Structure 1
Amino acid sequence: MKTRAAILRQTPGLWEIEELELDPPGPGEVLVKMIATGLCHSDDHVTRGDLAAARLPLVGGHEGAGVVRQVGSDVQGLEVGDHIVTSFVPSCGRCRWCAMGMQNLCDNGALIRFGTQLDGTCRLHDSEGVEVSTTACLGTFSEWQVFDQMSCIKVDVDLPLEVACLVSCGVQTGYGSVKAGDVQPGDVVLVIGVGGIGMNAVQGARDAGAAHVIAVDPVAAKRGWAADFGATAAYESVAAAMPAVAQLTNGQGADVAILCVGVVRNDLVGQAYQAVRKAGTLVVTGIGPATDDSAIPGVNAVSLAMQQKRIQGALYGMKSPREAVPMLLTMYRAGKLKLDELITRTYSLDEINEGYRDLHEGKNIRGVITFAD
């Protein structure tokens, strides 16, 4: 069948809308009519060359939601008409990490780097028959798509999918970063970068009982929006926030800092590290250029050991997606989690590059593409 999709043919580059040929679902796979997909910064890293694409051409997108329209053989637990959100880590449920309740670290996660489906082949081809790869075994920037059942999480049919799609990546990642930092009631928490991920870290810190949630972002609009999500104060930089942090903590520093900026640079990791107290935790959630492997200013063996600080990486909110997605959507139903308010603007597929320009200019918390019926 035919599908229109946003395709990347070179990096750095822009998304191009093309009509592609989509193969039917194979064993263990489903055909999904996409309803919505979020414009996550992770896909933008590839267009800008911060992260290398495994293979080009590439259909991007990994934060998606849609309706199952066809089911391949050997599919269990999914039927035609089911509503699903995607998981960018296809969890097998059998490997060591899944057995330990850490599906976000499933061994299948290693396969999302190759641009193919789990079996090593592609389902999309361009007009000349060239295979087109997909981001994270997904490629949600397409009107129709074939996913492995391991990449699909069933959700209730009455939930708005343009909202539910956010839980498949940004909300889960940001909210779970608070768990990674082991935020406790009464803590002072510094959230650095309050976009589509960081705004959910603000919500998570609020819900964990933090006494003070301090948002840091250079964009004035985001600092203003942060208060609606639970921030008690907001500043344009870590340096600007530190006098307030010092006053609140008797000069000790924040209990937890969560780094969620769109492009993480080592100097910012160093600033965030210096901002936490002895025995405090820095959670690094955002990602940066894969080539940025130089020393981190202010971080050395002496300070790590003598001040007993911890630097904690956090993937996918450090929680199993099949546990996190229902939990977060239940909170949304109960009015305990803001999701609608995260969507600053919706776009058509043809407006995808405009959506990413708005992201760069700080106009959105989250932009969402909605697909025509």
Structure 2
Amino acid sequence: MAKAAILETPGQGLVIGDVEMGEPLAHEVLIDTKACGLCHSDLHFIDGAYPHAVPCIPGHEAAGVVRAVGSEVKTVKPGDHVVTCLSAFCGQCEFCVTGRMALCLGAGTRRAKGDAPRITRADASGGVEPVSQMLNLSALSEQMLIHENACVAIDKDMPLDRAAVIGCAVTTGAGTIFNACKVTPGETVLVVGCGGVGLATINAARIAGAGKVIAADPIPEKRELAKVLGATDTVDALAEDAVAQIHALSGGGVHWGIEAVGRQASADLAVASLRRGGTAVILGMMPLDCKVGLGAMDLLGGKKLMGAIMGMNHFPVDLPRLVDFYMRGLLDLDTIIAERISLDQVNEGFDRMREGSHARSVVVFD
């Protein structure tokens, strides 16, 4: 039996309740969750902006310790410290074999119809009902039961509360810089939105040797955090002359305009801030009716637009490297984490996220 934060009705917050994890099948791993970061992507489902079957357990940015493994698991063993990633990959599809694992739809990594569900709970009549697994993980729970291709072992000296945020925010932000953009030292990077993903993107841009890293956010406190993480310049994203300021700072526009919050206005700012030949990269989960585009003159100027889901990560390789970056003092995860809370405080944590005043909240399990 495990305690979990359960979404029963979108728009009404999470309910703390007991759930039961099944026995691991051949390629599954049972993990004792030690920490889970709260991500804005969870909020889209919790508030009902994105649909999902309920009841379900959100949470997809986590670290823990392996308790048990299925008979065919080769990548981790009981006692290993692991970081989980929602990019569960099959290893066999076109996307996987061409090195684009983040685009894999995860065929075969979820239980088939007719199999017992991974997660269940008691229903009102005294029976048992299935609990849907969100984004392959459902990490706001004392335990996770996942496919082995959704986790990777890490150095046991790595603090697990900091390791957790690597699972989404840092994988997305750093992956965008290192994998999707392949930023060349000296190039100029704009990051619009200084939440967890944006701050991680800024940090990675500094590591990659970007010439200028411009952070745009309407909240002064977040702009100050961006400076700590490596921003060379900051701009109020809501200023009437924000685009002009960015063009002035970058000498005519940025090479990379990275949207890291999931809003139409921030995507438009990323596009408007590009130099000739520059690329806008959309990371945030935007409202489903949003559209981002390039005008005729943008296209004539060689500008480009792309998405980079989860930073186009190769997480079995990327995550241990990011852990090493932290251990060597290159990656600043301590600044990204604003607070550590208990599972019982999860709704308050999401309320603070809605206010938009600080970076990452991390649920820490005993």
Q: Normalising to structure 2: TM-score of the pair?
A: 0.92
Q: CA deviation at 1:326?
A: 1.1
Alignment of 1:226-305 (within 5 A): 226-237=226-237, 239-250=240-251, 252-261=252-261, 263-265=262-264, 267-290=265-288, 292-293=289-290, 295-296=291-292, 299-300=294-295, 302-305=296-299
Structure 2 partner of 1:362: 356
Letter in 1 for 2:212: H
Q: Distance in 2 between matches of 1:68 and 1:254?
A: 44
Q: CA deviation at 1:95?
A: 2.2
Which of 77, 91, 100 aligns to 2:98? It is 100
Cα distance change, pair 245–363 in 1 and its aligned pair in 2 (3 A): closer
Q: Distance in 1 between matches of 2:3 and 2:250?
A: 54
Question: Number of residues paired by the alignment?
Answer: 358
Q: Please, which runs of 5 or more residues in structure 1 have no aligned partner?
A: none
Which of 60, 63, 86 aligns to 1:62? It is 60
Contact map agreement 2:191 2:214 (CA 8 A) in 1: yes
Q: Distance in 2 between matches of 1:335 and 1:118?
A: 40
Contact map agreement 1:118 1:148 (CA 8 A) in 2: no
Contact map agreement 1:33 1:145 (CA 8 A) in 2: yes
Q: CA deviation at 1:185?
A: 2.3
Q: Distance in 1 between matches of 2:108 and 2:136?
A: 8
Q: Distance in 2 between matches of 1:170 and 1:125?
A: 28
Q: Distance in 1 between matches of 2:229 and 2:67?
A: 36
The C-alpha deviation readout for 1:302-324, integer Å capped at 9, x for no partner, is 13431111001101212211111
Structure 1 partner of 2:112: 119
Contact map agreement 2:30 2:146 (CA 8 A) in 1: yes
Residues 1:324 and 2:324 aligned together: no
Alignment of 1:1-373 (within 5 A): 2-53=1-52, 55-108=53-106, 117-120=110-113, 121=115, 122-128=117-123, 129-179=128-178, 180-237=180-237, 239-250=240-251, 252-261=252-261, 263-265=262-264, 267-290=265-288, 292-293=289-290, 295-296=291-292, 299-300=294-295, 302-372=296-366
| Farther-moved stretch of structure 1 (41-50 vs 177-186) | 177-186
Cα distance change, pair 111–220 in 1 and its aligned pair in 2 (3 A): farther
Q: Distance in 2 between matches of 1:6 and 1:334?
A: 34
The C-alpha deviation readout for 1:113-164, integer Å capped at 9, x for no partner, is xxxx343452222211111001112100111121111111111222111111
Classify the secondary structure of the residue corresponding to 2:199: helix
Letter in 1 for 2:224: G
Cα distance change, pair 249–352 in 1 and its aligned pair in 2 (3 A): closer
Q: CA deviation at 1:214?
A: 1.1
Classify the secondary structure of the residue corresponding to 1:173: helix
Classify the secondary structure of the residue corresponding to 1:340: coil
Letter in 1 for 2:73: V
Q: Distance in 2 between matches of 1:19 and 1:357?
A: 23
Contact map agreement 2:235 2:246 (CA 8 A) in 1: no
Contact map agreement 1:181 1:312 (CA 8 A) in 2: no
Q: CA deviation at 1:244?
A: 3.0
Contact map agreement 2:192 2:215 (CA 8 A) in 1: yes
| Overall identity of the aligned pairs, in % | 35
Q: Normalising to structure 1: TM-score of the pair?
A: 0.91
Classify the secondary structure of the residue corresponding to 1:331: helix
Cα distance change, pair 111–136 in 1 and its aligned pair in 2 (3 A): farther
| Farther-moved stretch of structure 1 (189-198 vs 233-242) | 233-242
The C-alpha deviation readout for 1:47-75, integer Å capped at 9, x for no partner, is 1122111x110111111111111222222
Q: Distance in 2 between matches of 1:182 and 1:324?
A: 14
| Farther-moved stretch of structure 1 (241-250 vs 9-18) | 241-250
Q: Distance in 1 between matches of 2:266 and 2:246?
A: 17
Aligned-pair Cα RMSD in Å: 1.8
Q: Distance in 2 between matches of 1:74 and 1:189?
A: 44
